[in-house]
Amino acid sequence: MAGQRSNAGRFDGRVALITGGTRGIGLATGRTLADRGAQVVLMGRHAGEGSGADTPEGVAFVKGDVRHTEDAAAAVQATLELHGRLDVLVNSAGIIYRNRTVEEHSEEEWDATFETNVRGTFLMCRAALPTLRRTRGTIVNVASYVGLVGFRGAAAYAASKAAVVNLTRTMALDHAAEGLRVNCVCPGSVDTDMIRRAWEATGDVEEAAREWAAKHPLGRIASAEEVARAVAFLASDDASFLTGVALPVDGGITAG
């Protein structure tokens, strides 16, 4: 608007809580939001990179497991005690079991996948909603492109990410009238521990890296920072009219 200073992409005065925040996409998102002025709280089960002495200014760590109701509530409470408000919730905690069709999955693996990826997202959203409502805040879930299309060999994971995509859309509708926006990113392969573990399991890391890159039309996998920037966009005022969006950040995989 004429005469108004642009606050594009900035988070000054805002507070973000990020699950799975001590590694990978969650940690990169914490750094990106902190660089853009946010006060950031990283939630993780173990003290990790994001909780150490190298933690950037404006970033705090709270210990917790997204599968547990009381940990979800405690993380929100700790954020409020530290910073007095919550504007952005990013649900990045997630796990995967690979090389398993439905017949090859144990029930324990199936339940563990849904407990972290779906129940964890549900519990965190539910715990954060009362305070997000007060700030007209926003939620960004980290789903996956395999929540948008079928994916061979990770049945529980793909089903859980599809659940996250449709939870996102449904929450967007349920809470739009309250001024809350709920979106998700759907990354392709991202260079984090999650992918490195898969490459190592093949026994030939270099060949696996080449194969994974070739699956993406852009010819490479993403960095965690590239996904973090997409999360930051959805969480920012630049995305003020976006809600219920499942944004592929996948180098073109789902375009075909």
Of 11, 61, 145, 157, which is the active-site residue? 157
What's the closest the beta carbon of residue 3 comes to ligand NAD, in angstroms? 40
Residue 7 · residue 237 · CB < 8 Å:
yes
The closest alpha carbon to 235, from 30, 73, 1, belongs to: 30
Give dist(CA 78, CA 75) in Å, integer: 5
Q: Which residues of 197-212 are buried (b: 16+ CB within 10 A; e: fewer)?
A: ebbeeeeeeeebbeeb
Q: Which is nearer to ligand NAD, 43 or 239 (CB)?
A: 43
Q: List residues binding ligand NAD (CB under 6 A).
A: 19-20, 22-26, 44-45, 65-67, 92-95, 116, 120, 142, 144, 187, 189-190, 192-195
Bridge partners of residue 90, in order along the sequence: 18, 140
What's the closest the beta carbon of residue 190 comes to ligand NAD, in angstroms? 4
What's the closest the beta carbon of residue 6 comes to ligand NAD, in angstroms? 30
Q: Which is nearer to ligand NAD, 124 or 129 (CB)?
A: 124
Q: Which is nearer to ligand NAD, 25 or 155 (CB)?
A: 25
Residue 32 · residue 52 · CB < 8 Å:
no
Q: Which is nearer to ligand NAD, 55 or 192 (CB)?
A: 192
What's the closest the beta carbon of residue 33 comes to ligand NAD, in angstroms? 15
What stretch of H or E contains 36?
none
The length of the chain, given as a count of residues? 256
* 97 tagged catalytic: no
What's the closest the beta carbon of residue 193 comes to ligand NAD, in angstroms? 4
Give dist(CA 124, CA 115) in Å, integer: 12
The DSSP symbol for 222 reads B
Q: Which is nearer to ligand NAD, 137 or 187 (CB)?
A: 187
The closest alpha carbon to 27, from 192, 198, 175, belongs to: 192
Q: Which residues does the annotation mark as catalytic?
A: 157
